[in-house]
Amino acid sequence: MRGAGDPRPPGDDRHHGGDAAHLGLLDQGCDGVVPNGSLGEYQTLTDEERARVVRTAVEAAGDGARVMPGVAAYGSAASRRWAEQAAEAGCGSVLLLPPNAYRADRAAVRAHYAEVAAAGLPVVAYNNPHDTKVDLTPALLAELHATGHIVAVKEFSGDVRRGYEIAELAPELDLLIGADDVLLELALAGAVGWVAGYPNAFPVSCAELYHAAVAGDLEHALPLYRALHPLLRWDSRTEFVQSIKLSMDIAGRTGGPCRPPRSPLDGAVAADVRAATEKAVADGRR
């Protein structure tokens, strides 16, 4: 998926209609949606909920090519089943973490991506070594791309230098910005997409930032990046789900509560997120 993709938070049975309403972000600058990812709290959804979220996203988007669901699971067979469900629903691609139940070696990672790629949809690798403890290095990504198992990577390591190494080792592999607070740096390194968190709260301003960044328009992008960075950096912190949902609520979009074991923000963290969000609203960000 090229462009700015928005990982959407989940609803529950009472708010399932809100899942469809959330797809209005496609009319506000976002190029696609990414249900059942980390921000979507996929680990807390039942199988029925998870499948229904994908079907709802495709129906509401009106074009399944703009929907890239996360298909992470503890086992490769389960991830493949989710990829097959995504294909049946009409999705255009899937987002896949490496094995995350243990520290998988290179052979296990290769087998995992091969299994899911066999479902037939283009696979976007998700490199999040902080949480999975498995690092999809530029060399490993190049290998996975050379064997036809991935078409792109959501790069969330935070090491922006990797953008250049990925381009050297796998020039045809699409680089997607995976963390909001390195958007400008990875855009300048050649990224062609952004799997983003904060467009959930400020879609128009984030889309404006993204397009200026990938166009190399620093005169426009840099001031906006500086203005939004007090919010964007929360996407890389432990409390990213709660933070983005709180910002959504403050900005007039329904974020709602997280599912256990996540609990609401409190104290200084909540105050910091609230202050940054209220300033963005006051500055006319939307």
Q: What is the pLDDT of residues 92-112, one digit of tens each?
A: 999 999 998 889 999 999 999
* Whether the predicted pLDDT of 10 surpasses 90: no
Please tell me the predicted confidence (pLDDT) of residue 8: 53
The predicted pLDDT at position 23 comes to 57
Asked whether 116 and 123 are in contact (CB, 8 A), the reply is yes
> What is residue 133's predicted lDDT score, i.e. its pLDDT?
94
Q: Is the dihedral of CA 229, 235, 238, 243 positive or negative?
A: positive
Q: Which of 8-22, 50-64, 190-204 has the lowest mean pLDDT?
A: 8-22
Catalytic residue among 42, 74, 113, 126: 126
- The string of pLDDT tens digits covering residues 166-214 is 999 999 999 999 999 999 999 999 999 999 999 999 999 999 999 999 9
Out of 42, 113, 154, 198, the active site residue is: 154
Model confidence pLDDT, tens digit, residues 201-257: 999 999 999 999 999 999 999 999 999 999 999 999 999 999 999 999 999 999 999
Q: How confident is the model at residue 27 (pLDDT cuts 50, 70, 90)?
A: confident
- Give me the mean pLDDT over the 151-173 stretch: 98
- 126 part of the active site: yes
CB 77 within 8 A of CB 43: no
| Low-confidence winner among 50-64, 135-149, 217-231 (lowest mean pLDDT) | 50-64
Find the mean pLDDT for residues 25-29.
74
**The pLDDT value given to residue 2:** 60
Query: What torsion, rounded to 10 degrees, do the Cα atoms 263, 197, 108, 44 define?
Result: 30
DSSP secondary structure, the chain, as one string: --EEEEPPPP--GGGHHHHHHHGGGGGTT--EE-TTSTTTTGGGS-HHHHHHHHHHHHHHHS-GGGB--B---SSHHHHHHHHHHHHHHT-S-EEEPPP-SS---HHHHHHHHHHHHTTSS-EEEEE-HHHHS----HHHHHHHHHTTS-SEEEE-SS-TTHHHHHHHH-TTSEEEE-SGGGHHHHHHTT--EEE-SGGGT-HHHHHHHHHHHHTT-HHHHHHHHHHHHHHHGGGGSTTHHHHHHHHHHHTTS---PPPTT-----HHHHHHHHHHHHHHHHTT--
Third-level CATH fold of 3-226 = TIM Barrel (3.20.20)
**Which range is least confidently modeled, 18-32, 36-50, 63-77, 92-106?**
18-32
- Going from the C-alpha of 202 to that of each of 77, 145, 189, the distances in angstroms are 37, 33, 24
Q: What is the pLDDT of residue 17?
A: 47
Q: Which residue has the tokens 């283009």?
A: 122
Q: 16 pLDDT band (50/70/90 cuts)? A: very low
| pLDDT band, residue 12 (cuts 50/70/90) | very low
Average pLDDT over residues 74-81: 97
pLDDT at 63 over 60: yes
Catalytic-residue membership of 279: no
